[in-house]
Structure 1
Amino acid sequence: MIKKIRFLAYYLPQYHPIPENDKWWGKGFTEWTNVAKAKPLFKGHYQPILPADLGFYDLRVPEVQEQQSELALRYGIDGFIYYQYWFGNGKMLLEKPAEAMLKNKNIKIPFCFCWANETWKGIWHGLDNPNVLIEQTYPGEQDYCNYFNYLLPFFKDERYIKVDNKLVFHIYRLDDIPDLDFFLDIFNQLAIKNGFEGVWFVATHANSNIVIQNTKIYGHVGLDIFNSMRYEQSFKYRSGTFLGKVERKLNKKFKISLVNWNPFILDYRIAIEKLHVNFIHKKYIACVFPNWDNSARAGIKAMIFKNSNPEIWKQHLRVTLNEIEKNSENPPFLIVKSWNEWAEGNYLEPDTKFGMQWLEALKEMKDIFL
């Protein structure tokens, strides 16, 4: 039996039109645009991956977030981690769903934020060009204060996730903040000034040594096990295939790679066997993912975990929870990537193939271990 662990899922607040997306992709664009037009790339490829019970929802409709909250709580999700986009100088994107949630007390699920501090480039978001769409900046003290003050009404909400009256605040790319300690100090000081004990910062992409040494950082989400498969795709996982052998020869002679000319495909079951959860330090927080297929967004440049299904997802959860049981001193969270990143084929919400089974598998494992 594991001590009380809170299951938190990343939440994408994208599913509503905004002027920037209209400009970049066309009038009325949301992630559903890509989801609906996805095509199979090989025999047996499950695409399009389509939503079931909640449908192609619009987050401007209040009932949608209420239904998501009810569904998540019913099946064992204890909170959402809203991606929050603050690009500096007060510039935000996709902030409206969280603002609506704050006002709507019918949305019961607890929440916290992940500052998604990353420059948006077209090549990462489905466009066939490397141009910067919007740049992440770090203007300094006044901007950090303005950012905190914008977030303060959320922090004061009774649903905001705290540990020992410290605000849990995730940062996607911790290493990118040029004046990191200064930023952390400002948020801590402002939190204490407003009646909290401070802030527990949780890193996602970050240097482990920085995380270990910095006492202000509470946790480190273990996305590294997931990303290791993305960044080693050319050499480690393709090496035994025909394409891998051709690629090695081309790369050796002409410095040419085939990575961007065909999808990177892994069997989910094999991937889960390779993903050994490794609690590398006492701040490590395990992260699990039920599925992944971003071909709706990336096309032939996609990474695809084929043959994912709720039964193997259940095995992934079982192995991870066993490791959490052995590392009871680590932060009391399990992170699920993700609740609703549909264009990346990464979701827990019901779909037309498996219905509620992704959620049912999670609840079954949670009930067994907790």
Structure 2
Amino acid sequence: MKKSIYPLLWGMFLALFSACNSRTGEEAKEGYTVAAFYWPAYHYEPRSEFLFPEKTGEWEIIRNAVPKEEGHQQPKVPLWGYLDEADPKDMELKITTALEYGVNTFIFDWYWFEKAPFLERCINDGFLKANKGRMNFYLMWANHDATTYWDVKNPRVDSIYWDGEVDREQFDIVVDRVISQYFKDPAYLKIDGEPVFCIYELNTLIQGLGGAEPTKDALDHFRKKTVEAGFPGLHLQGILWDALPSSIEGVPGDPIKSQDDVLSYFGFKSLTNYCWAHLQNPDGDYEVWGDASTDMWNQFRERFSMTYFPNVTISWDANPRFPFKTGYINNSTPEKFKKYLSKAKRYIDDNQIEPRIVTINAWNEWSEGSYLEPDTTWKYGYLEAVRDIFEPIN
């Protein structure tokens, strides 16, 4: 009788371990998935050395930023110093702090230019080596053109360094890469077992692939390859802004005349925003900007048949990237930011959004003035706001 209890206990342990382990890479059902966009530009990238010769990525322009007028709060100074995100030791600090304050998911901006990945060392050498399955993550394919907007000496958006479009051959290479290198990581975020893959500019994808039908065929191929890799399907997520077309040509049958029709045709399952700068002009008072942006959430819920996950943006000031003054947001504080986090939580709860996901811009958009990482002005204030609204889950 005594001997028989050990196999029973061992079986119970394995069942419990399996249940816990199966949640790795899944949203926390009893809590909220707090997902912060991550801009992986703060490490040495050989392909952008001509932009950042100091070999520290965009930290170069953050260090050299200056106020453009009286009262303009520049430069932004990181409390942790100018970390190398491709170093696992530095990334360890980011992951541990994020989890401590309730940010449990990073959405990495992911790039593919001229038949090769760009800025990927942050994920591969930094995050994946430091994470060890503790924190969820997923990719947003930032498939926009790389313009001279990144070049503070020549910030013109009409001049392109690298084209964001890909043809079908390159698309298939991207598919194989993200499935094998990222989807199969246990910490990759899944919804109902399906890996989440976000696409930044749907119109650019369509243009590169040659139209609506070829794009649908390519995305169907993506789903098929994902299923063949052992997943029940693919969760496509779109970024809602003016790069999301409201109509497309060449679709057989009834004409498509809304953004919802477009997304449904291609099989998207959810939407979010990257930042409020895509919704309202980023110039002036934070609360005026925030109220106008978040008041649009109910419109999104009514207009789209797929799930809309609310986005909260911390601020906006892209002046470090320009030699001249551009519009920026002022008067952002942790307490005001907390107000919109609370609004996002109410929106999710009142509308019974499942899974309960909120996206935040951003973990580290220092060059656009929207970041959770502590600086010398507010210290951990913005992270404390997240912790106060979305309690961390052990």
Q: What TM bracket, shorter-length normalisation?
A: 0.7 to 0.9
What is the SS of the residue equivalent to 1:47?
coil
Which has the greater radius of gyration?
2
Structure 1 residue 79 corresponds to structure 2 residue 105: yes
How far apart are residue 6 of structure 1 and its match?
0.7
* Aligned-partner Cα distance in 2 for 1:310–1:211: 37
**Distance apart, 1:96 and its partner CA:** 1.0
CA drift of 1:312 comes to 0.6
1:278 partnered with 2:278:
no
2:220 to 185, 193, 210: 185
Secondary structure of 2:280 counterpart: helix
2 CA distance for matches of 1:125 and 1:192?
Answer: 41
Deviation, structure 1 residue 24: 3.2
Contact 1:201-1:216 at 8 Å conserved across structures: yes
Find 1:161's aligned residue among 175, 189, 207: 189
The aligned amino acid for 2:67 is: P
Q: Is the 8 A contact 1:9 1:81 kept in 2?
A: yes
Displacement of 1:329 after TM fit? 3.7
- Residue 334 of structure 2 corresponds to 310
TM-score (norm 1): 0.83
Instruction: Select which of 65, 69, 94 maps to 2:95.
Output: 69
| Match status 1:336 vs 2:360 | yes
Inter-partner Cα distance in structure 2 for 1:367 and 1:112:
21
Structure 1, 349-358 or 198-207: larger mean CA deviation? 198-207
- Give the CA deviation at 1:111: 0.6
The amino acid of 1:278's aligned partner reads W
Summarize the Cα distance change of 1:65–1:161 in structure 2 as closer, same or farther, 3 Å threshold.
same
Inter-CA distance 324–37: structure 2 relative to 1 (3 Å threshold): same
| 2:34 corresponds to | 7
CA 1:125–1:315 in 2, change beyond 3 Å: closer, same or farther?
A: farther
Cα distance in 2 for residues equivalent to 1:73 and 1:39: 32
1:98 to 97, 103, 123: 123
Which amino acid in the other structure matches residue 267 of structure 2?
K
- Report the Cα offset of residue 213 of structure 1: 2.4
1:266 aligns with 2:266: no
Q: 1:352 aligned to 2:376?
A: yes
Q: Percent sequence identity over matched residues?
A: 26
What runs of 5+ residues in structure 2 fail to find an aligned partner? 1-28, 207-213, 246-258
Does 2:55 match 1:55?
no
Q: Is the 8 A contact 2:86 2:123 kept in 1?
A: no
Partner of 1:214: 265
Task: Deviation per CA, 1:254-299: give whole Å up to 9, x if none.
Answer: xxxxxxxxxx731112222222142323421111111211111134
Q: Which deviations, in whole Å up to 9, do the C-alpha atoms of 1:92-134 show, x marking residues without a partner? A: 2101111123344446211110101011110355333432111
Whether the 8 Å CA contact 1:38–1:48 is kept in 2: the answer is yes
Give me the whole-angstrom Cα distance separating, in 2, the residues matched to 1:308 and 1:329.
27
Deviation (angstroms), 1:86: 1.3
Q: How many residue pairs get matched?
A: 331
Letter in 2 for 1:220: L
| Residue segments in structure 1 that go unaligned for 5+ positions in a row | 231-263
Q: TM-score, normalised by structure 2?
A: 0.78
